[in-house]
A and B are shown apart, each in its own frame.
Chain A
């Protein structure tokens, strides 16, 4: 048992503990912290495997950018939704654990039973050092043999950026008004609706018996039911749950 193997097992142990923390933590922020722990230890393992450039990329892209995005979105989601939800599903958890353990046993058996067979390539430590390090060697191979692939990756990143902008763009007010007008229009500023001949028979009861008074300049609230007043709470500050 060399020092290298000991260090590897130590890093692997912490990475696996972090991964278990991702799955087990009830708070998504704690899951994100476990994910950072796992990513950083995996980056250190990349260093053992002489993939220095990928270790740095792992820290910057995964432990940096992706985790920041995840935490940002977690903060944006309404805090009521964050703890794991009412009613655990013991059957589902048991099924997942049994399936996972069975698959782990199978895969471990397959890995331990068969040795690795393959023809070693030219990139030993000496040849990589002769080229000028891991990053230079990687760049040489990447921009000669994988030219098309890296350009397609650039295209993919561009498409993903455009898609994310399209997905996360808030609906324009005019679109929301048009969608609401197709359903029903109630103007709380007037006793009668704008498009409707009369108010519907059953208007929902205001919560707490309190209705915001119609101040001047307040926008017209368009909704089908009281549940839709979540963005512009005209019936008090309660959320439909």
Chain B
């Protein structure tokens, strides 16, 4: 662990991903859950770039680029859904949004 290696990147990635996962599991505000999902996507990028750096490849960086593009698309659609939700149901509490279930 004295030299920087992919292990460091993987540990950071795991920590960030799991913090985001705990946030998705415990929080009730749709906006915070959305931010936690962004955090998890970002954590995946860290491990992809760590692998790319360790193995002298560019494929990992390109995958991270695609993940960023998909995350941007997800952000746009997700926030559009949040806007539509607040306009129709007037809440961002995930526990009160049960129209699909009932």
Instruction: Please list the residues of chain A having a beta carbon within 8 angstroms of any beta carbon in chain B.
Output: 1-2, 4-5, 8-9, 12, 15-16, 19-20, 22-23, 28, 31-32, 35, 38-39, 42, 45-46, 48-51, 53-54, 57-58, 61-62, 65-66, 69-70, 73-74, 76-78, 81-82, 84-85, 89, 92-93, 95-97, 99-100, 103-104, 107-108, 111-112, 116, 118-124, 134, 137-138, 141-142, 146, 149, 153, 156-157, 159-161, 163-168, 170, 230, 239-240
Contacts and interface: CB of A to CB of B under 8 A. Distances in A.
A142 B62 CA distance: 7
B68 A62 contact: yes
B72 A5 contact: no
Interface of chain B, main secondary structure? helix
A49 B64 CA distance: 13
B12 A45 contact: yes
B49 A12 contact: no
B23 A108 contact: no
Nearest to B34: A70
A30 B21 CA distance: 18
Given A16-B12, A42-B46, A58-B68, A96 B32 contact: no
A95 B77 CA distance: 30
A98 B16 CA distance: 16
B90 interface: yes
Given A100-B19, A149-B66, A112 B80 contact: no
Which 3 A-B pairs rank lowest in CB-CB distance, beginning with the nearest?
Answer: A167-B80, A160-B73, A121-B57
B70 to A, nearest CB: 7
Contacts of B34: 70
Interface of B: 1-12, 14-16, 18-23, 25-29, 31-32, 34-36, 38-39, 42, 45-46, 49-59, 61-62, 64-66, 68-77, 79-84, 86-87, 90-93, 95
Contact of A167 (B39, B74, B81, B91): B81
Nearest to B20: A19
B90 A230 contact: yes
Given A35-B39, A81-B91, A19 B6 contact: no
18 contacts: A1-B2, A5-B3, A12-B8, A31-B32, A46-B49, A57-B68, A65-B75, A66-B75, A77-B92, A84-B27, A84-B29, A96-B25, A100-B21, A118-B51, A122-B56, A157-B72, A160-B73, A168-B83
Given A92-B25, A111-B11, A138-B62, A54 B49 contact: yes
- Among A5, A42, A163, chain B packs the most CB atoms within 10 A around the CB of A42
Interface centre among A12, A38, A66, by most chain B C-beta atoms within 10 angstroms, is: A66
A19 B16 contact: yes
Given A23-B23, A57-B65, A76-B86, A70 B14 contact: no
